[in-house]
Structure 1
Amino acid sequence: MYELDIALRHISARKRLTFFAVFAVALAIGVIVVLMSLMSGFTNELVSLTVESSPHIVVTPMEDTTEYIHFYRHYSEQILNTEGVLAVSPVFAGQAALQYRDRAQGVELYGIDPVAEDAVMRISEDIVEGSFSTLSRSNNGIVLGNRLAEELGVEVEDTVSAVTPTASPMSYKVVGIFHTGTPTDETLAYARFDSTQSFFGGSGIASSINVRTHDPYQAETISGSIEESTGLDAVSWEEANRDILELLNTQMVIVWLYYGLIYLIAGFGVANTLITVVAEKKREIGMLMAMGTSRRHITNIFLLESLILGTMGVLLGCILGYIGVVLLSNYQIDLPSEVYFGLTTLPLSLEVSNFIYAIVFSFIINLAAGIYPARRASRLDPVEAIESE
């Protein structure tokens, strides 16, 4: 294939120009792979953290009906029998102040069945001190978030007092401390369902029913089924966190625009190289056309050059991107969790799709960059081209 031979000869004749064109593409690919890995890791971690740190579905009374769910045991069983539901946990929640010595903090006190709540929220996996299962065996036990425990200055085995204006103070013994990396670590406390009901003066009612589904991404559909069968209000984690998910989608659009600009810059490097080759090889192009080479073949020569430059850049760029992601993954970069939705370290996810997107997009840009110089070369007048030098 003589077009390929000519294309390779053109590329090798201008080594420095070729190097910078290839390096521009490689740098673009490397940067894109790292950024896409960062974006993928951030999205995956944020969604995972959102899914795991909150119930997949929260069932509450319909607005303007009642503050509590009556016959919650009946509804819990009905929801558990809904297709796609894995576990349910009734919750009795109220606001109180926890006191320890001279310190006090406002909390959301959740009364739960420890076994049922652990099946929904997997809290035992987040326990850093003590034991969540101890809550089942202690009438006055309490489990706190780690930041709440730090604010109060308490440790496991310490006793705190729960205070509310409408009830007598109640003492709780700290039996566990959990860490989720979310804001709930400084506002949430778990106690047994019956003791919390007694503290707030409730009986036979629940504030909400937490639900875990087999597939979190089916929560929206399942919540609709629950509403139809129970007449209660069911809110999926997707609906509850719609603002965050929309922010991710908006951020993704902006990031892809940024990717496009980087690719365009690299594409100009390729186009500049080919335009220079056309200017320097006018006489050779004219001689080829005088010998019978068609304009289509001339076009193919320069498109091949664009493809070769792009391929070299893509291969080098993938290597640079992979090395960059591996190096960043091995170096832990701490993040302020209150700024990045509870994420404490820089997340990176090395996915094959990131390389595929970068490669496909790069080839498209490189071919587009080669069209103008290729058409310019094919439109040269043979006589004028030969006499140009």
Structure 2
Amino acid sequence: MYELQIALRHISARKRLTFFAIFAVALAIGVIVVLMSMMSGFTEELVTTTVENSPHIVVSPMEDDQEYIHFYNHFSEQLRNKEGVLAVSPVFSGQVALQYKDNAEGVDLFGIDPEAENAVVNIEDDIVSGRLFELSRTNNGIVLGDNLAEDLDVVVGDSVDAVIPTAGSRSFRVVGIFNSGTPADENTAYARFDTVRDLFGESGVASRINVRVQDPYQAEMIAQSVESETGLDAVSWIEANSEILELLNTQQVFVWIFYGLIYMIAGFGVANTLITVVMDKKKEIGMLMAMGTSKKHITAIFLLESLILGTIGVLVGCVLGYAGIILLSSYEIDLPSEMYFGLTTLPLKVDLANFVYAIVFSFLINIIAAVYPARRAARLDPVEAIESE
């Protein structure tokens, strides 16, 4: 295949231009792979954190004027028997002021069954001091977010007072501290379901029912089914976080535009190399055409050159991208963990699909970049090309 031999000879004749063309493609591939891996990792980490640290579905009263769910045990049992539901946890919640010595903070106090709530949102995995299940053994235990505990200056074993202006106060002993890496660490506390309900002077009701489903991405469909069957309001995590998910989708569009610009820059590097070869090899191209080489074969020579440059650039770029991912994934973020949802390292995800997208897109850009110089070479007049030097 003489086209390939000629293409290789053209590439090797201009070593410096060839190097910069390959480097441009490799750098584009490396940068894109790292950025795509960072975007994939951050999106996955955000979704995972949202899914793991919050109920997949929150069931609450449908009417705005109804503050509580009556007959919550009946609805809880109905939800447990629903296909696709893994766990159900009734919750009683209210706002209180927690006091310790001279410190006071307003918090959202959630009354829970520790085992049921842990099955829904995995609180125990976030416990950094004490134990969540200690709540089951005492009716005055409380679990605090780590930032809240720090603001109150308390540790496990200390006693805090929960104050409600309309219902008096009650003393609680801190039995656990959790760190979820979310804003909940600043204003959330857990106590036993019956204890919190008694504190607010209520009985036989729940504020909401938290639900965990087998497939989080089916939560919206299950929530709609729950609403139609129970007459209660059911909000899935997808609906609750719709603005964040929509923002991620919008961001993806701008990111892909950015990717395209980087690839275009790399493509100009390849095109510049091929145009230079055309200008430099006019006489040789003219002689080939005079010897009977068709325009189709002349075009094929330059397309092959682009393919070779692109292939080498892609291989080098994939190595650079993978090395960059490994290097950056170990980089420690010198910022408060809550700013990155509890992350302490850059959330890069090594995904084969990111490499495939980068490779395919790069080859397309390289082929497009080769079209103009290839057609320009094929349109040369043999006589003028031979006499050009």
**What TM-score, normalized by structure 2, do the two folds share?**
0.98
User: Which residue does 1:125 correspond to in 2?
Assistant: 125
Q: Alpha-carbon deviation of 1:336?
A: 3.7
Q: Alpha-carbon deviation of 1:216?
A: 0.7
User: Which residue does 1:307 correspond to in 2?
Assistant: 307
* 1:152 is aligned to 2:152: yes
User: Which residue does 1:251 correspond to in 2?
Assistant: 251
Q: Alpha-carbon deviation of 1:65?
A: 4.8
Q: Alpha-carbon deviation of 1:250?
A: 1.1
Once residues 335 and 287 of structure 1 are traced to their aligned partners in structure 2, the CA distance between those partners, rounded to angstroms, is 65
Q: 5+ residue gaps in structure 2?
A: none
- Given residue 91 of structure 1, which amino acid in structure 2 is its aligned partner? V
Is the Cα–Cα contact under 8 Å of residues 61 and 233 in structure 2 kept in the other structure? Answer: yes
Aligned positions of 1:1-389 closer than 5 A: 1-389=1-389
Q: Give SS of 1:175's match.
A: strand
Pairwise CA RMSD? 1.0
- Given residue 297 of structure 2, which amino acid in structure 1 is its aligned partner? H
Is the Cα–Cα contact under 8 Å of residues 329 and 345 in structure 2 kept in the other structure? Answer: no
Q: Give SS of 1:92's match.
A: strand
Q: Alpha-carbon deviation of 1:337?
A: 4.2
| Farther off after superposition, 333-342 or 160-169 | 333-342
Q: 5+ residue gaps in structure 1?
A: none
Once residues 304 and 70 of structure 1 are traced to their aligned partners in structure 2, the CA distance between those partners, rounded to angstroms, is 74
Q: Give SS of 1:297's match.
A: helix
Q: Render the CA deviation track for 1:289-335: whole Å, top value 9, x for unaligned.
A: 11110000000000000000000100000011111111111222234
Q: Give SS of 2:199's match.
A: helix
Is the Cα–Cα contact under 8 Å of residues 283 and 386 in structure 2 kept in the other structure? Answer: yes
Q: Render the CA deviation track for 1:103-161: whole Å, top value 9, x for unaligned.
A: 00000000011111111111111111001111101111000011100000001011000
Q: Give SS of 1:195's match.
A: helix
Q: Alpha-carbon deviation of 1:347?
A: 1.0
- Given residue 176 of structure 2, which amino acid in structure 1 is its aligned partner? G
Is the Cα–Cα contact under 8 Å of residues 140 and 173 in structure 2 kept in the other structure? Answer: yes
Once residues 321 and 134 of structure 2 are traced to their aligned partners in structure 1, the CA distance between those partners, rounded to angstroms, is 48
- Given residue 201 of structure 2, which amino acid in structure 1 is its aligned partner? G
Once residues 250 and 344 of structure 2 are traced to their aligned partners in structure 1, the CA distance between those partners, rounded to angstroms, is 23
Q: Give SS of 1:94's match.
A: strand
| Stretches (4+) displaced over 3 A | 334-345
Is the Cα–Cα contact under 8 Å of residues 332 and 344 in structure 2 kept in the other structure? Answer: no
Once residues 277 and 368 of structure 1 are traced to their aligned partners in structure 2, the CA distance between those partners, rounded to angstroms, is 17
- Given residue 200 of structure 2, which amino acid in structure 1 is its aligned partner? F
Is the Cα–Cα contact under 8 Å of residues 25 and 267 in structure 1 kept in the other structure? Answer: yes
Q: Give SS of 1:83's match.
A: coil
- Given residue 238 of structure 2, which amino acid in structure 1 is its aligned partner? E
Aligned residues: 389
Is the Cα–Cα contact under 8 Å of residues 335 and 346 in structure 1 kept in the other structure? Answer: no
Is the Cα–Cα contact under 8 Å of residues 67 and 207 in structure 2 kept in the other structure? Answer: yes
Is the Cα–Cα contact under 8 Å of residues 289 and 295 in structure 1 kept in the other structure? Answer: yes
Is the Cα–Cα contact under 8 Å of residues 60 and 207 in structure 2 kept in the other structure? Answer: yes
Identity %, equivalent residues: 73
Change over 3 Å in CA distance of 1:329–1:340 after alignment to 2:
closer
Q: Alpha-carbon deviation of 1:244?
A: 0.6
Q: Alpha-carbon deviation of 1:210?
A: 0.2
Once residues 110 and 160 of structure 1 are traced to their aligned partners in structure 2, the CA distance between those partners, rounded to angstroms, is 15
Q: Alpha-carbon deviation of 1:342?
A: 4.9
Is the Cα–Cα contact under 8 Å of residues 181 and 338 in structure 2 kept in the other structure? Answer: no
Q: Alpha-carbon deviation of 1:67?
A: 1.1
Once residues 151 and 332 of structure 2 are traced to their aligned partners in structure 1, the CA distance between those partners, rounded to angstroms, is 27
Q: Alpha-carbon deviation of 1:48?
A: 0.6
Q: Alpha-carbon deviation of 1:280?
A: 0.6
Is the Cα–Cα contact under 8 Å of residues 92 and 193 in structure 1 kept in the other structure? Answer: yes
Q: Render the CA deviation track for 1:34-65: whole Å, top value 9, x for unaligned.
A: 11111111111111111111100000011335
